[in-house]
Amino acid sequence: MTVIGDNFSILLFLAILPVLIILLFVYYKDKHREPFALLFKLFLSGFISCGLVLFISGHMEAVTSLFSPSSSKNIFETFIYSFVGIALVEEISKWLMVYFIGYHNKEFDEVYDGLVYAVFVSLGFAFIENILYVVLSNSIKTAIVRALCAVPSHACDAIFMGHHMSIAKQYATKGNKKMVYKHLALSIIMPTFIHGIYDFCLMSGFQILVIVFAAFVVFMYYISLSTLKDMSLSNNKIEKLKHKYCKYCGELINQKEICPRCKKKQIIKRKITFSSKPKEST
């Protein structure tokens, strides 16, 4: 099917518009806005995550037909495909971009920042996906449905991802590695779970799950907006790391020269001060 003329322009506009609206909404909720260059980099990394999804999915399909798109799957196969073949692959691909570009960035110094980073990556992904779906379908109806469901759903997934990344960042400043790992794991598990329910309800073929899907979407929008509002209003600074840890095993050492756990010598930087007061002669 060939899309030409004014119809293409309208479809392209409708595909891009919901992404821009959500990005601007999230951006202007930030009390201390992030550098444009960083946000643009995160948004573009969402494009890269699309390529990563195609790469991973292609290899999974080569291993087993369970992860290939097909209408002949039974309910169990549909469940696995929805939660693993789609949701897990997509959310991990987006998570990697947020983690390596945003989580360790020096600009990540406020609670709301994690949410912003995750949304910009996720909507970079949604930007490419939505254009492909809408333009190739050549349907304004598809554009409207995806603007109300698919694109906001990606943003909801990202809000949960960013929320737990921010919690992990706060625990990192307190040196609580157990809680850091827990919330980094939840920053993948929660969006994957939400994404999986969304896709499974749509792909199952059961009428009752379509009703469940509608209720689920409304509920998730409410929870996501409430989370965004709370994080924006309580956007406090994340405290700087006050403790020092062993670079070999991670044990808390503060100013000790020898790690109490691995017994390795640490390099402790000390300030050298010079006194301008001359020594008294004796």
Alpha helices in 31-149 (DSSP H): 36-63, 75-80, 89-97, 113-137, 140-148
> Mean per-residue pLDDT for 88-103?
97
Q: CA angle, 29 as apex, 28 and 35 as ends, to 5°?
A: 55
pLDDT digits (tens, 9 = 90+) for 33-92: 999 999 999 999 999 999 999 999 988 988 887 777 776 778 899 999 999 999 999 999
Q: How far is CA 168 from the centre of its chain?
A: 13
What does the pLDDT look like over 188-219, one tens digit per residue? 999 999 999 999 998 887 888 888 999 999 99
Q: Which among 137, 157, 139, 138 is positioned nearest to 149, based on CA atoms?
A: 157
Token pair in block for residue 31:
């009390």
pLDDT exceeds cutoff 70 at 277: no
Could you tell me what percent of the chain has a pLDDT over 90? 63
Q: What is the mean pLDDT of residues 85-109?
A: 95
Q: d(Cα 85, Cα 122) in Å, to the nearest integer?
A: 18
Q: How far apart are CA 72 and CA 184, in angstroms?
A: 36
The terminus-to-terminus CA distance of the chain in angstroms comes to 99
Lowest mean pLDDT among 152-166, 170-184, 259-273: 259-273
Residue boundaries of the structural domains of the chain: 5-233, 243-282
Cα angle, residue 102 at apex, residues 101 and 107 outer, rounded to 5°: 120
Question: What is residue 251's predicted lDDT score, i.e. its pLDDT?
Answer: 61
> Per the confidence metrics, is the pTM higher than 0.85?
no
- The beta-carbon contacts of 170-177 under 8 Å, at least 24 apart in sequence, are 170/111, 170/238, 170/239, 172/241, 173/238, 173/239, 173/240, 173/241, 173/242, 174/239, 175/241, 175/243, 175/245, 175/252, 177/250
Share of the chain above pLDDT 70, in %: 84
- Under the banding of pLDDT at 50, 70 and 90, the label for residue 239 is low
> Taking a C-beta distance cutoff of 8 angstroms, is the pair 144, 55 a contact?
no
